[in-house]
A and B are shown apart, each in its own frame.
Chain A
Amino acid sequence: MFTKLGLRFAALAYLALLLIVPVGIIGAHTFSGGLGPVWDSLTVPDAVKALELTLEIAIIVVPLNTVFGITMAILMVRRELPGKALLSALIDLPFAVSPVIVGFTLILVYGQQGWFGSFFVDRGYQIIFSTPGMVLATMFVSLPFVAREVIPVLREIGTEQEQAAATLGARSHQTFRRVTLPAIRWGIVYGVVLTTARSIGEYGAVAVVSGNVIGQTQTLTLRVSQEYQNFDHTAAYTAALELAVIALVTLFLMNLFHPRKDR
């Protein structure tokens, strides 16, 4: 009995010191100067711009990666493809690459001395130190989530219902819309939640390719670190609190939609 209590205490103390107390304190710290300064730093033009850019990137990245993820999952589970193991490893690859490396490789491709750098510059497009580069970086890091969540669900539901629908004369797009899609929808939603959270929260990859021009290429995460370095702590904590609120909403949705049985 005492060992059990002791172990419980050790586990909870560990979680408290590492996770719960620090995250709780950030809220307290943000509002330490009262509501006024927080409101001011939420609404200054640079802060609004940072939020807008963050959402803009997510709005471009999430739908593209979602369509890709669903397509890839169907390919992996329902089609005979040569080199499936390799393809599966490629889909997971972004999880193995440090965000800084992601940004660096994009500079090698699209930067001034990069493979396609002069091609785009000659045509008047700037990729690196600009929004397109940040979109590409975010696409890279959040690519696997939807496919990873949909693949096991698709495997589990099997093909019987789809075959039944086909036997009854449903066309393949009807089968997809009326049988497959409803069956995998929670897997998709969960994948979309993770993709969105990662898109909004990405820092390292975006930091490398952004150039960090305030009001132009500054996202919320970049704002947190930059304002902290500029000793404008209220601005840094306000941006961090915005992101923390998004994270808590994400966490709530993750628990709501989680397909695993262990909850």
Chain B
Amino acid sequence: MTTVALPRRRASGAALPSAAPGVAITYLSVIVLLPLAALLWQSQKGGADAFWQAVSSPDAAAALELTLGAALLVALNNAVFGTLIAWMIVRDSFPGKGIVNSLIDLPFALPTVVAGLTLLTLYGPYSPIGLNITYTRTAVVLALLFETLPFVIRSVQPVLLELDREMEEAAASLGARGHVVFRRIVLPNLLPAILSGMALAFARAVGEYGSVVMLSGNVPFSTEVASVHIYSQIQSDYVTGATAMSIVLLAISLAVLLSISALHRRSSKHVH
């Protein structure tokens, strides 16, 4: 027996047992909402002063600054190289392109800690090429570049594939050079996809933990990122500090993701 007033007409399509909506939403609430509610509850417990003190403490501020700076750098770098690689996959042809295309998703499939160990093998203390970047901020950036590689590529690729070649040909026949065609025709069409890929990469980079913790050495004030900072606060039972930093990171990622969906709504209106 259920009292949920939902349309259960056959014509509306696929069948679900009548309890399914309730069970699914309860599941979502217990797995995702309950823990996040506990975080919100914890954050207001100490009051605004304690919260502010925790996020503005020198080590927390340094970690946050490094995280945001590195994430921004990585997003910008991905905008350039991601677009270039997407262009290569769609427009260029060379033997082995199919394999390159499938390897792009490897960072999504490879566990973060394995990615960290992988980079550590090549660019760590036992580096076969004598290049040790551990304990530097370059390590943070490198780990984030690895983890966020697919976002811009996978967001630009389908748009580039659908892009009408005639526009470019028309511009070229009117005498526009390659770089002018790219700047005036291709780039404006790709921009929403590039931005949305950058935003996803940025949100991912802000929260990344596994690869960075392996590679960066995690020195406070130097190479400790925000997520590692939270981890060490948890280890030392400093709940207020961990809570405050978590709230800040969560707010940043949410803002970024909401702006992506706003961007999507705008650009889909633009098309139709």
Whether both chains belong to one complex is answered with yes
Give me the interface of A with B, judged by CB distance under 8 Å: 3-4, 7-8, 10-12, 14-15, 18-23, 25-26, 29, 64, 68, 71-72, 74-75, 78-81, 87, 89-109, 114-115, 136, 139-140, 143, 154, 159, 162-163, 166, 171-173, 175-176, 180, 194, 197, 200-204, 207-208, 220-221, 224-225, 228, 236-237, 240, 243-244, 247-248, 250-252, 254-255, 260-263
A68 near B231: Cβ-Cβ < 8 Å: no
> DSSP majority for the B interface?
helix
> DSSP majority for the A interface?
helix
A221 near B14: Cβ-Cβ < 8 Å: no
A221 to B213, CA, bound (A): 13
A102 near B35: Cβ-Cβ < 8 Å: yes
A166 to B242, CA, bound (A): 54
A61 to B67, CA, bound (A): 31
Closest CB in chain A relative to B63 CB, distance in Å:
12
A238 to B32, CA, bound (A): 33
**Chain A CB within 8 A of B138 CB:** no
- A to B CB contacts below 8 Å, 24 in the list: A7-B92, A12-B88, A14-B81, A15-B103, A18-B142, A22-B121, A23-B118, A81-B6, A92-B257, A93-B32, A97-B253, A98-B227, A98-B230, A100-B246, A104-B242, A105-B36, A115-B38, A175-B13, A180-B13, A200-B111, A201-B112, A250-B109, A254-B109, A261-B161
- The number of chain B residues touching the other chain, given as a range, is 35 or more
Interface centre among B14, B16, B112 (most CB of A within 10 A): B14
Q: Which residues of B contact A75 (CB under 8 A)?
A: 16, 20-21, 24
In B85-135, the 8 Å CB interface with A consists of 85, 87-88, 90, 92, 94, 100-114, 116-123, 128
Closest CB in chain A relative to B223 CB, distance in Å:
16
Interface centre among B39, B102, B117, B123 (most CB of A within 10 A): B117
B253 near A26: Cβ-Cβ < 8 Å: no
Q: Which residues of B contact A26 (CB under 8 A)?
A: 114, 117-118, 121
- Lowest 6 A-B CB distances belong to which pairs? A98-B207, A201-B111, A172-B15, A105-B35, A204-B209, A108-B38
A115 to B108, CA, bound (A): 34
**Chain A CB within 8 A of B31 CB:** yes
Which chain B residue lies CB-closest to A220? B111
A19 near B107: Cβ-Cβ < 8 Å: yes
Q: Which residues of A contact B112 (CB under 8 A)?
A: 201, 203-204, 221
Given known pairs A7-B84, A109-B35, A172-B15, the reply for A19 and B146 (CB within 8 Å) is: yes
